[in-house]
Structure 1
Amino acid sequence: MFDREWEWSELTAFAADAGREATLAVVSGRRRQGKSFLLDSLARAAGGFYFCAYEATEAESLRRFGEELGQYTRAAAPLRFERWESCIDALLALGRERPLPVVIDEFPYLARSTPSLPSVLQVAYGPRRPERLESRTRLLLCGSSLGFMGGLLSGTSPLRGRASLELVVHPLDFRQAAAFWGIEDPRLALLVHSVVGGTPAYRREFVREDVPSGPDDFDAWVCRTALSPRSPLYREARYLLADESDLRDRALYHSVLAALASGNATAGGIAGCLGRPAGDLTHPLTVLRDCGLVRREVDAFRRNRSVYRVAEPLIAFDHVVSRTTRALLDRGLSEQVWESSRERFRSAVVGPHFEQLCREWVSHFASPETFGGMPIDVSYGTVPDPGSRTSHEVDVVVRGAVGQDSGVLLSLGEAKWDQVMGEKHLDRLRRIEALVAARGLDTSAVRLACYSGAGFTEGLRRAEAAGDVVLVDLRRLYQGE
């Protein structure tokens, strides 16, 4: 197990809860994050019962469930169940003597063939039901469909209010991912993360421990993994949407992702790219957000304006590099495709990804001393410049707490992946600070910041020494505060 201490502690605390009645947990997360490994390990460590469903009819699922429960209880013959009500009562009976974890993995498959199953659980976990009050079963429902699992406990769902734990297993953050891949060079680590993100299984199962030996090996690594038809990674981006069982028009969702990956960040821009009314995209964008494949970011200075970005690096890579060249890649021409796509990858994938990692660094790794306060909200922003009839994009806008005041504007930052940053970038930030102040916002606590993947000029280093700017390079991004 790698770096899942917090998730493991939450699961073990739930499984060992000494409460005198049965409890329920919901565990979700996209595929390949290690959910099943965690839950199977939990069941094994505590002597619990683990059942993994797959796509099947209700009758076949009931038969398999009875067979596996019979093996677990060492019954003389396979158990037979005609209804899920009996199955859930049998699971509650397992915990009569002690707290016992019981896992139902891939729960959405069961609910798809038996839509009433959440309601069955609602009744089984009724507040005064004797079977629940006399049981200490710790039932964990797990699934990879984030839209479905997220809806289990929300709104008018039958299970709303029934669960005592809701755990989402997220991908590794960029620092954890670098350690997991065993990459010490920060530039190489960021390039690899721009392709595969923080999904653990992509290193082990998908590329079979094929890690770039160094920065000079990155291009060849891309060709033999993400662009090779022989590699499972080559098709993975197309399968991520398949985990969401409620999606109907998958072609539309792929087109929305393609529009996002090509730089259309607003709902209007996406609609224009697809030739559809903007209102037609409200539902697809909401679904993609619920799936964790798209994130919505609100403008720090114009709260009624927001942009959408692809949240899964592998999907962004696929739509920018692979999707339109699939026929060539299928013929084994990965080197030629990569040669013609490399610059587009660096500008359309790595550049925006670097900006996002800079925002994540501020949120999770920067110390309060870096910006003179505790960062609370980190986003992007757009500042109009009436004098030049234009507007300025601010890559990293930091608001936070200083003393008793929260929401204080702490920093304005610019991020450049492939440029050595100098005094002109600092002058631009000073101009933006003046424009923000002219709009009536308090800028007394603002610290200007430059984030660069290529380094800084000596002049900017002197400005840093004078306290005029905060500089964040790749080394600080991966190792500093």
Structure 2
Amino acid sequence: MGFINRTVELDRLQRLWDSGTAQLAVVYGKRRVGKTELIRQFLLKNSGIYYLADKRTHHEQLLEFGRVVGDFFDDLIVRQNGFIDWLQAFQYLEQRSHDRQFIVAIDEYPYLVESARETSSLFQKGWDQYLKQSRVCLILCGSSIAMMESEMSSRAPLYGRMTARFLVEPMDVYSSQDFFPKRQFADFLTYYAITGGMPAYLQAFSGFENVEEAATALCLDKNGLYANEVNMMLRQELRTPNTYFAILKAIAGGKTRISEIANDGGFTVTLVSKYLRTLEGLQFVEREVPVTEDKPHKSKKGIFVLRENFVRFWFQYIYAFSSDLAIGNFRQVQKKFRAESHFLESIAYEQISRRTMWDLSDRLFSFEKAGRYWDSDIEIDGVGYNAHERKIAFMEAKWSDKKMGPTILNKLRMKAARVAWMRDKREEYFVLFSKAGFESELVSIASEDPHVVLVQQVTVMGR
């Protein structure tokens, strides 16, 4: 399978290269999101060096880096002897850049920092003394979000030297489906409900005939490629992850308010609040408030949700059944998964529908904000609005084999009437997403009313 998407990131990297000047770019993001492949594709088009740091000593890192650099320049002395320190390495690279432009990509940069605490200070000095006026495009890449963001903070040595930063995010649903070119959307969603938009998971799952077979081989089997995935992700970022495990397990189980999470784990609200801030920074969870809140940071309606489908799946089906899976007993987990797979798909479809709303500006209007809405009595899957235009859209998504009829639209209208935002001064739109399609009466209503938009799966009707 060829390289999929990442055109925005590749175009940005290419513009750095095309400038012909010195560049210091930081590329970071979670494990499996495709950072290394992105850099590899960039290197395929342009000339450069790729070095993968690991847990070896500082001295060994310099020897191995020298071997890689020596191979690239066909320099036997550097290949055999390596470099004494990073300043010598940068001086050598600067001299080599007189004759040619090239990339130096250092992957898993946090391992370099771990091997010698002064590494970033030496990189700062090497950049200022040698590389800043060169034609070297230096890329520092890492999977530890905490470490990489620390290295980019205002107190870090490299602050002010970076010319670009790339936070590589999971792929959108359309790019994700490209990993399953022979599957219809409904079939693909059974996979996406587990993998989300993480390219490595998508690639691995796409090689199986069905999602249960893939999940069993890759995740439930104790020797599966991703059986220990979330455990490793957390331990990479956190020294004492046990409390974080308990908090994430509670959220995966449907506990979303701080008080609920605290009660579930037997923690204080103060402790949970502190740990949730860390998990937010590491992009494991995100805080949501009703989209119409005027001051979201101060809202008391905030809830916490998992950012990734796979983390939810891992806690619900792997972490929760670790004893069974350790002895190869898959039966209970598979039974639970079969019973709940539709629920996982429904959650994923609701997420996709909210994101798809942003693509409907030609049928609706340009959103300023979009997200979920709830209060003490009602929940609405999606709401998007533009305060300047005084327009608001309300969305309902149903992943059901039953066609959607006018009753759903009428219920959504009643819910909308309960939303106070610019009441009596606004123009309302209604967007309905359905797996199975729509009854003829509802199709007729939408054909006559431009304020009603119907989307079957992810295809807008009547375009």
Q: Same fold (TM over 0.5)?
A: yes
Tell me by how many angstroms 1:259 deviates: 1.1
Q: Distance in 2 between matches of 1:201 and 1:185?
A: 20
Matched AA of 1:237: V
Question: Which blocks of at least 5 consecutive residues in structure 2 are unaligned?
Answer: none
**Residue 426 (structure 1) aligned with residue 409 (structure 2):** yes
2:356 to 347, 358, 361: 361
**Residue 254 (structure 1) aligned with residue 240 (structure 2):** no
Matched AA of 1:414: E
Give the equivalent residue in structure 2 for 1:476.
459
1:238 to 212, 231, 239: 231
Question: Which blocks of at least 5 consecutive residues in structure 1 are unaligned?
Answer: 384-389
Decide whether the 8 Å contact of 1:436 with 1:443 is kept in 2.
no
Decide whether the 8 Å contact of 1:66 with 1:80 is kept in 2.
yes
Matched AA of 2:312: A
Tell me by how many angstroms 1:447 deviates: 0.6
Tell me by how many angstroms 1:266 deviates: 2.2
Q: Distance in 2 between matches of 1:80 and 1:175?
A: 45
Paired residues for 1:155-166 under 5 Å: 155-166=154-165
Paired residues for 1:113-124 under 5 Å: 113-124=115-126
Provide the aligned C-alpha RMSD in A.
Answer: 2.6
Percent of matched pairs sharing the same residue: 26
Give the equivalent residue in structure 2 for 1:201.
200
2:286 to 283, 291, 295: 295
Q: Distance in 2 between matches of 1:89 and 1:183?
A: 51
**Residue 450 (structure 1) aligned with residue 432 (structure 2):** yes
Matched AA of 2:374: T
Greater mean alpha carbon deviation, residues 219-228 or residues 272-281: 219-228
Q: Secondary structure at the match of 2:198?
A: coil
Decide whether the 8 Å contact of 1:266 with 1:307 is kept in 2.
yes
Give the equivalent residue in structure 1 for 2:97.
95
Q: Distance in 1 between matches of 2:47 and 2:416?
A: 60
1:377 to 353, 357, 369: 369
Tell me by how many angstroms 1:442 deviates: 5.5
**Residue 23 (structure 1) aligned with residue 14 (structure 2):** no
2:112 to 110, 121, 127: 110
Q: Distance in 2 between matches of 1:5 and 1:176?
A: 11
Matched AA of 2:434: S
Decide whether the 8 Å contact of 1:453 with 1:474 is kept in 2.
yes
Decide whether the 8 Å contact of 2:28 with 2:148 is kept in 1.
yes
Give the equivalent residue in structure 2 for 1:339.
335
Distance 1:250 1:345, change over 3 A: farther
Paired residues for 1:295-334 under 5 Å: 295-302=286-293, 303=296, 304=299, 305-334=301-330
Decide whether the 8 Å contact of 2:220 with 2:325 is kept in 1.
yes
Matched AA of 1:211: F
Tell me by how many angstroms 1:242 deviates: 3.6
1:466 to 443, 448, 459: 448
Q: Distance in 2 between matches of 1:138 and 1:475?
A: 40
Tell me by how many angstroms 1:230 deviates: 4.5
Give the equivalent residue in structure 2 for 1:43.
43
Distance 1:219 1:37, change over 3 A: closer
Q: Distance in 2 between matches of 1:161 and 1:270?
A: 39
Q: Secondary structure at the match of 1:89?
A: helix
Decide whether the 8 Å contact of 1:174 with 1:198 is kept in 2.
yes
Distance 1:226 1:142, change over 3 A: same
Distance 1:418 1:258, change over 3 A: farther
Distance 1:222 1:37, change over 3 A: closer
Q: TM-score, normalised by structure 1?
A: 0.85
Tell me by how many angstroms 1:428 deviates: 2.6
Give the equivalent residue in structure 2 for 1:387.
none
Tell me by how many angstroms 1:342 deviates: 2.7
Q: Secondary structure at the match of 1:472?
A: strand
Give the equivalent residue in structure 1 for 2:34.
34
Paired residues for 1:60-139 under 5 Å: 60-77=60-77, 78-126=80-128, 129=129, 131-139=130-138
Greater mean alpha carbon deviation, residues 40-49 or residues 304-313: 40-49
Decide whether the 8 Å contact of 1:320 with 1:345 is kept in 2.
no
Tell me by how many angstroms 1:409 deviates: 4.1
Give the equivalent residue in structure 2 for 1:281.
272
Tell me by how many angstroms 1:353 deviates: 2.2
Tell me by how many angstroms 1:345 deviates: 4.1
Q: Secondary structure at the match of 2:368?
A: strand
Matched AA of 1:187: A
Tell me by how many angstroms 1:136 deviates: 1.4
**Cα shift readout 1:167-209 (whole Å, capped 9, x = no counterpart):** 12222211111112224311111111011112222244x45x5
**Residue 436 (structure 1) aligned with residue 419 (structure 2):** yes
Give the equivalent residue in structure 2 for 1:386.
none
Paired residues, number: 452
Greater mean alpha carbon deviation, residues 247-256 or residues 468-477: 468-477
Tell me by how many angstroms 1:141 deviates: 0.5
